[in-house]
Amino acid sequence: MNLDFVIAQLQTQGNAILQLVGGLTPAQARWRPRASDWSVLEVLNHLIDEEREDFPARLRVVLSGTDARWTPIAPQAWVKQRRYNQRDLAESIAAFRSQRASSLKWLRALPERTPWRRKYAHGDLTAGDLLVAWTAHDVLHLRQLTELRYALIARVGKPFSQGYAGDW
């Protein structure tokens, strides 16, 4: 694994996430194309909780070499339980920026001989698997945020069409 590249991607992708959630009004950030979709604000707060309670936390457990179990998480349920869409947009942006910076600082401080092949004591995932999955997880949500921005352009652009831009 090219650790420098992966860490750089987490930084670049974090910046891209901040760009995609920026420049929106709170109402635009709360808007959902369909009731079953997540809003920009919900995606952002999901990413904050993933940064706090999922990838880095679980990676720390695996790297510790103990047989500690991961703290259970419920990302889908948290969207409603934790009222993501009612949160303040500016505070959420600041929280993501802070959490990602903290994660990057921790990753950069890991020793050169970090045991990336170490397996979670209660499963088959390795520390390296978690780090690569964390990086890929960002990309999935970058796509989701891009789709939300595209749909928002179509909505606020009415009665005009974005069709000339090309097919999605």
SS3 readout for 89-113: HHHHHHHHHHHHHHHHHHHHHCCCC
Angle at 131 between CA 29 and CA 82, to 5 degrees: 35
As a whole number, mean pLDDT of residues 76-99 equals 98
Strand partners, 126: 119
For 115-160, how does the pLDDT look when each residue is reduced to its tens digit (9 = 90+)?
A: 999 999 898 999 999 999 999 999 999 999 999 999 999 999 999 9
For 107-117, how does the pLDDT look when each residue is reduced to its tens digit (9 = 90+)?
A: 999 998 999 99
User: Could you count the other beta carbons within 10 Å of the beta carbon of residue 91?
Assistant: 10
Angle at 57 between CA 55 and CA 63, to 5 degrees: 95
Q: How far apart are CA 149 and CA 151, in angstroms?
A: 5
Q: Which CATH architecture has domain 3-165?
A: Up-down Bundle (1.20)
As a whole number, mean pLDDT of residues 3-25 equals 97
As a whole number, mean pLDDT of residues 54-62 equals 97
Which contiguous run of DSSP H or E holds residue 50? helix 40-53
